[in-house]
Structure 1
Amino acid sequence: MKILHQLQKYGPRRLTSWLLVGTLSATLLAGCGDKQPPEKNTKQTEKAHPTAKDEANSASGKQEGNDTEKLLTLSAEESQKAGIKLQTLELEERSEQLLVTASIQANQDRLAHVGPRVPGRIVKVNANLGDMVKPGQSLAMLDSIELGEARSSYIQAASEVAVTQAGFERAKRLQADNIIPEKEYLRARAEHEKSRASLRAASDKLRMMGVDPEKLTGSIFSLAAPFTGTVIEKKAVLGELATPDQLLFTVADLSTLWIESDLFEKDLGKVKVGAQATVTVSAYPGEVFKGRLTYISSTMNKETRTIKARVEVPNPDGKLKPEMFANAAINTTGASAKALIVPENAVLLLQGQPTVFVAEKGGFESRAVVVGERTQGYAVLKSGVVAGESVVVSGAYALKARLLKSQIGDAD
């Protein structure tokens, strides 16, 4: 009723103005009240949005944690079980190399085919394939009729020498006392000289048959090894008749082998005799055998336009075998450069990136590298590591498996 009375007294416009003033006053009073809740909201906002310093500390801590995770630590027993071996990186001279395929052959200067000089039946075989033999060692025993006849002639000649020598000495004494004429003395001396000549002929015949007259007993003789080596071929069969045109054994000194290859005509000017070379075979991946270029042929094959060449390689452990296929890298006459070189199996792929494991801070760190030339089981590291660092060259696959296992565990 009061509002209706005011509306009739002052009119609608005046009453609307009063209502606006009342609303504005209520709003101002609300703004001047307690301000604690907005302060609380401010603190919540600060926690939701950390400062730049907090972000830096957090990033630093995270990076440090990643470095720790990347470092693999193994106990001494685990390292030994994994076969971990390290190599300290050094700058090595690396020459340009000519790569050729080759085959391994026995050293022809230390190879002997052994057979009888006279026909004989094999009565005993003393050596087998693969046996190591020494000079003079018996390979087989043979019984020869011809040798028996030659020995009989030798014995007869030796007897005649003994008889004629006694007669000559007697004639010499008698002639000195003028008991017999000089003619008798000269005849006795001639007979003695003749018998001696027959003995020498019989002895030489036995030696040509390959036996020592002083050591021969009966008609059985021995085939002896000419030098220290290995029996790489055997055709001697007990009871068979062997003839001079048969080769019963082949003995080779395998301590040094020949690596024979063909050089193309365009490469002839790049190499020279005496150049260092390395040889690899598929039987021993990652292992390199060092040798030297010892021969380049003086003639060229007109059909293939290649020249025969030979690398001589020491083989003290006997790992290389004749007739193996090989790859040879011969140092050329070009300039050399220094590089960091590791065995090729030290470089692994992690997430498609060539990687090596570096010993650091009591553990092993996976390090991405850039690999250059790969040849003869070795790889050149162009970046990612420096000289003086120790790289895992054996057992890297075990470290890779351990690293991948730890990453799978973190993902879970």
Structure 2
Amino acid sequence: MLRSKKIFYACVLAAIAAAGAIVHFTPPVTASSDTAATAAAAGADHAAALTLDADAARRAGLKVERIEPTEVGEMLEAFGTVGPNRNRFARVSAPVAGRLTTIAVDLGATVAAGALLAQLESPDLAEARTAHQQNKTELDLAQVNYERAQKLAVDASIAQKDVLRARADYERARAALAASDARLATLGVTAAVPAGTSPALLAVTAPLAGTVVERTAVLGEYAQAYQPLFAVADLSTVWVEASLYERDLAGVAVGAAATVRLGAYPGRRFDGTVTYIGNILDKETRTAMARIEVANPDGLLKPGLFANVEIARPGRRAVLRVPEEAVLLLQGQMTVFVAEGEGFVPRPVEIASRGGGWIVVRSGLEAGDRVVVDGAYALKARLLKSLLGDSN
């Protein structure tokens, strides 16, 4: 019995879709001058139709609006991925090999520029600092000998060759110290050893303010020189990288406004600007990368999220659009309810695009149609309920 009901229900739905069946109500929600004529033409169907009185219509929250062409900007839709702003992103490593003795931060930590991330003990750093101190001592000694030789040369108390030798020793010592200074500068450390610490101790600090988004540092591990230990990103702005097909490139320019929507935050829109369009197409996908920079003050846009992107194109065009709430799925087709006379017609439509709470309709509606913009789901429920009742 249940199976036969389901088969009958499916057949009735198919018949309704094919014939454009009308669900009637009494009285009409929206007044119309030709209501009487339309009702007379459809009078033969009224007895068998599902009716909605004024009270039922009010409880269902029905609202009908006449749609007219609306001027909108041309929009290009694309798919993209959220990523960090690479101009505000840094991978942090140590310039020398050493054993990690302190890990000061973890993933997700907010750090200021110069904040301590980790410490390590490096034999290479200890050697460099010791060599610098030795070169400085040798320079001081060479300078004293050279000045003494110059004084003795005034009254010929020393041979000229000894003066020249003292001068050469002084220049050699000065060059060695300069080389030590350059090596320490390259390592990003000072020659002076912090009080109470070892000359082998190296502090690894954050190069910019931001959030720790990667950490590979492990306490006690021996890290190699320039091995990535952390990644720090300033996520107050992010980049959304979208793929554009070659046919769409002519309509997109740097500086164009863009809107980003994420599945993680339904109904939310994030405004951005196109800051870069790739100069090379991917050989396999035949797409170029467009970069949209988006402000992210609340940190909602997390790197790795997928995004739907709409990029504004030059020019405007007239379209028919309806609120997203007006469109529903009925028998596998996107459908709207259109008020005709004293009833509602479920009319299939083809969607061109959606965004900002609106759906642009490519076909299925005409200018002047009166569309149910609120309460469409209540009508759908009543339609299905009436069909189930008839099947009994």
d(CA) in 2 for partners of 1:341, 1:149: 73
* 1:166 match: 144
Q: TM-score, normalising length from structure 2?
A: 0.63
The answer to whether structure 1 residue 378 and structure 2 residue 360 are counterparts is: no
One-letter code aligned to 2:79: T
* 2:96 match: 118
d(CA) in 2 for partners of 1:132, 1:339: 47
d(CA) in 2 for partners of 1:177, 1:338: 103
d(CA) in 2 for partners of 1:341, 1:353: 11
Q: Report the CA distance between 1:232 and its aligned residue.
A: 0.4
> Among 302, 306, 310, which residue is 2:291 paired with?
310
Residues 244-283 of structure 1: CA distance to partner in whole angstroms, max 9, x if unpaired?
A: 2531111112122111121122222221222110101122
One-letter code aligned to 1:188: A
Residues 355-388 of structure 1: CA distance to partner in whole angstroms, max 9, x if unpaired?
A: xxxxxxxxxxxxxxxxx9863333279999xxxx
Assess, with a 3 A threshold, how the Cα gap between structure 1 residues 338 and 135 changes in structure 2: closer, same or farther.
farther
- Structure (1 or 2) with the greater helix fraction: 1
Number of equivalenced pairs: 288
The answer to whether structure 1 residue 291 and structure 2 residue 272 are counterparts is: yes
Assess, with a 3 A threshold, how the Cα gap between structure 1 residues 340 and 167 changes in structure 2: closer, same or farther.
farther
Segments of structure 2 that go 5 or more residues without pairing to the other structure are: 1-53, 60-69, 329-335, 339-350, 361-366, 379-392
* 1:47 match: none
d(CA) in 1 for partners of 2:71, 2:132: 67
Alignment of 1:32-51 (within 5 A): none
The answer to whether structure 1 residue 195 and structure 2 residue 180 are counterparts is: no
RMSD: 3.9
User: SS state of the match for residue 248, structure 1?
Assistant: strand
One-letter code aligned to 1:150: A
Instruction: Name the % identity.
Output: 41
* 2:228 match: 247
User: SS state of the match for residue 274, structure 1?
Assistant: coil
d(CA) in 2 for partners of 1:194, 1:337: 81
Aligned 8 A contact 2:99 2:120 in 1? yes
Say which one has the larger Rg: 1
Aligned 8 A contact 2:97 2:224 in 1? yes
* 2:204 match: 223
Q: TM-score, normalising length from structure 1?
A: 0.60
* 1:326 match: 307
Q: Report the CA distance between 1:215 and its aligned residue.
A: 4.8
Aligned 8 A contact 2:96 2:226 in 1? no
Q: Report the CA distance between 1:234 and its aligned residue.
A: 0.5
User: SS state of the match for residue 309, structure 1?
Assistant: strand
Aligned 8 A contact 1:272 1:333 in 2? no
Aligned 8 A contact 2:112 2:206 in 1? yes
* 2:218 match: 237
User: SS state of the match for residue 333, structure 1?
Assistant: strand
Segments of structure 1 that go 5 or more residues without pairing to the other structure are: 1-65, 72-91, 355-371, 385-395, 401-412
* 1:89 match: none
Relative contact order (alpha carbons < 8 A, sep ≥ 6): 1 or 2 greater? 2
